[in-house]
Every structure is written in structure tokens, then in C-alpha cells.
Structure 1
């Protein structure tokens, strides 16, 4: 799966500076949010920087494909705006939300076992499906698999089908970067997430791949 994940050339043309660090974690033992995972969110909130230049880069990327970032915010923008009140979801989701806030970085978390074929980032043609009664607009940047769209507007909203639950055993994480975000900081975010996942499941196996950059 890791080597089959692709970023379409149409997306590269839109933002040649885009890079995504893909992590696959196998053998997770997830569970409800607890005191430790809540502490990750609290600590991250103390470092939250809503004015980080990376947030504005994502707003510009949204405008480039016709989205209005004040109405449908990039995920990192939305998280940073409510960093002081982020709810605990489950241990794995708390882990990647905390890293997203701390590093001002969009991070998507997906249940790998619910995927139909590999993930790929494409420009929608308007015929794709997102759930039962919603479809992306033509020209919208989306993550998808063989069954349909898994995340609309690059990293705005994830579908129900692939989201991480307390029973998730194997997960896919997408850490997304635009300039001027340093690749070294992207790598550090990946290490921080891996450390959190190992705290949750010491025997987890984590592999990674950088696409772009």
C-alpha cells in the first residue's frame, strides 16, 4: 500500500511545493481517550500558533481550487482556532490532533482496513462520491480510493467510512506540507506522532514515505 499512494500531476501543477509524509501504523491497540491522551491535547494547546505562516499557505491553496477558506477551513486552521477546547475522541485521534496543533500541520488519520485500494490525491472531475448524498465539485482537490472520496477539499472533511475508531488496528496518516514549512519540521512532526503511537501500542510497526518535497 505505501508505495502505491500517489499525488496526481494535476495537484502537483496546482501546488508544486506540496509534500506529504505518509505513515502506516500496523498493530495498534486503540481505545477511548484517557488522561494521557487528554494531556497531549492540553500541552499542544499551550503552543498553538494560529498565525503560523503555514496556515496562510493552506488558505492560499484552497483559494486556488475555488474553495473559500473562511467558510470551509483547512483542517489545521480549524484545529488551531479551537485548540483550547478540543474534545478527546480516542487515543489515536487525540495523538494526531495534538501533533497537528503543536506543529501547525494538517494531519489526516484513516482506518487502513476500510480502504478499497490505495489512497491518492487528485483533482475531482465531479463524478466522485463522498458518502451517500454528497459529491465534490469539479476542480476540488480530494483524497480518494477505489470506492470514493475519503477527504474533501484536500484536508477539510473526512468521510465516515474511513475514520479511525476505538477498534482500529491499522492506520494511515497523511502529514501535509506547503512552503514555507521546512521539511525538517515535517520529519519532526512524523517522529512526534510515531512516539505517541508507540506510547499507545508499544508493539506497533510504523513505516513511512515522503512524497514530493
Structure 2
């Protein structure tokens, strides 16, 4: 699958990069106890680590807030999705198990302090571009709210935007019926290429261990 970064993004953040994983013939199910247990214990650990700390001061979240600011979005109104996860944990409103794909997505997002999206490939159309949303673009998110995408970083196919490091649309969610999926790791620009590869491959390995199927990854960045 062809994935492109827009020049508009690269112009302001030359070291911007994303990890892309494509999965084929996977089986999404209820999460095994090992995943549910790790997610719960990790959230409890984060809760204690956050005592006397402000979530926006965490390195990964701070970096993603600065990205939103750079493109003209107030991160107090448009929070990176990983910040929203951390704020839930800080309030002890822990994430409960949803299903295997979403649970692993959330676990790695919390672990690496980066937004991660996973999408049903069968609901996407054509090549993918990571770009800035345009004036008038909007979509309905996973919570049923309509979101303006103007100046937000979005992932878009031939039909328009379907995902963002802010919140994903309701067009291509991974469900128990999903067999082919696309995962986008919105990496910290400060992460060097070798560490970006290790992080992405680690996520891919755990995902295929649970879901089976075949997978391959790539790091998309400025040439």
C-alpha cells in the first residue's frame, strides 16, 4: 500500500514520521487474560507514577501537544488521543477491555506515549496520505461527535479523512469481523529511525502473536 506524507507537514516538521503496519488474515477476538491483565496492571502503575505530575508535562505528550500548536490547533481543546488516555488513567477511570486489537493499540499507545490508530483495510479505498485537514472537512468520530478537521493532521484515502492523532472516524473501525487491518503509529518526531523501526516491529510482533495472519511494516518519513 502506498503511504505519502504531505509536503505541508514536512515543511514545518522535517523529521515527522509514522510507523505503518499492514495485517492480512487476522482473527480479532476477546482479549486473552494475559493482555487484559497487562493492560490493567500497566494502568495502575501509570496512575502511581502520575502522582504530583501534570499529564501535559510527560515527554511524549508534550511533544505531540507542540505538534498540534505548530499547525495552529490549541492542544487544550484538541488533545492528542494518547493524552486523553493518560487523563483517564490519572482519574482512575481505567480503560476496560474492548477486544484484542483495541486493547493492544491502547497498551502500546500508553507505553510509548504516542497516538496509534488501527483501521479495517476493507473499509479504506486507495492510497493513503498523511496531511493537514482542509477547511470544511469533518467526520463523525467513534463517539458519535462531528469533528472539524481544519488544520488537524489526518490520515486520508480516496474517500477522504478516516483517522487522526486526535480522534478517529467511525468509518473504518476494527471489529470482530475484521480480517485485514492497517495500523498507523504517529511517532514522536524526535524518535530516530532505528528506534522507530524497533518500536513498530515490537508492536507488530505482539499483534500477530495474538491475532495470527501475516504482517509487514514500514517507516514513512521525509526522504
Task: Give the TM-score category using the shorter length.
Answer: 0.7 to 0.9
- Name the CA distance, whole Å, in 1 between partners of 2:168 and 2:77: 16
Distance 1:70 1:46, change over 3 A: same
Instruction: Give the equivalent residue in structure 2 for 1:21.
Output: 19
**Which deviations, in whole Å up to 9, do the C-alpha atoms of 1:97-133 show, x marking residues without a partner?**
1111112222111111100112211122224342499
CA contact (8 A) 1:25 1:170 kept: yes
Q: Does 1:66 align with 2:107?
A: no
Distance 1:96 1:137, change over 3 A: closer
Instruction: Give the equivalent residue in structure 2 for 1:205.
Output: 214
1:182 shift after superposition: 4.0
CA contact (8 A) 2:118 2:174 kept: yes
Structure 1 segments unaligned to the other structure (5+ residues): none
Q: Does 1:56 align with 2:58?
A: no
Instruction: Give the equivalent residue in structure 2 for 1:142.
Output: 154
Q: Does 1:166 align with 2:176?
A: yes
**Which deviations, in whole Å up to 9, do the C-alpha atoms of 1:67-99 show, x marking residues without a partner?**
221222101211222245012111011011111
- Cα RMSD (Å): 2.3
1:39 shift after superposition: 1.8
- Name the CA distance, whole Å, in 1 between partners of 2:202 and 2:173: 21
Q: Give TM-score, length-normalised by structure 2.
A: 0.83
Q: Does 1:108 align with 2:117?
A: yes
Higher mean alpha-carbon deviation, 193-202 vs 14-23, is at 193-202
CA contact (8 A) 1:47 1:102 kept: no
Instruction: Give the equivalent residue in structure 1 for 2:52.
Output: none
Q: Give TM-score, length-normalised by structure 1.
A: 0.86
Q: Secondary structure at 1:130's aligned position in 2?
A: strand
Structure 2 segments unaligned to the other structure (5+ residues): 50-54
CA contact (8 A) 1:37 1:94 kept: yes
CA contact (8 A) 2:208 2:215 kept: no
1:47 shift after superposition: 5.3
Q: Secondary structure at 2:148's aligned position in 1?
A: coil
- Name the CA distance, whole Å, in 2 between partners of 1:135 and 1:100: 22
Instruction: Give the equivalent residue in structure 1 for 2:9.
Output: 11
Distance 1:181 1:46, change over 3 A: farther
CA contact (8 A) 1:127 1:135 kept: no
Instruction: Give the equivalent residue in structure 2 for 1:44.
Output: 42
- Name the CA distance, whole Å, in 2 between partners of 1:189 and 1:45: 20
Distance 1:136 1:106, change over 3 A: same
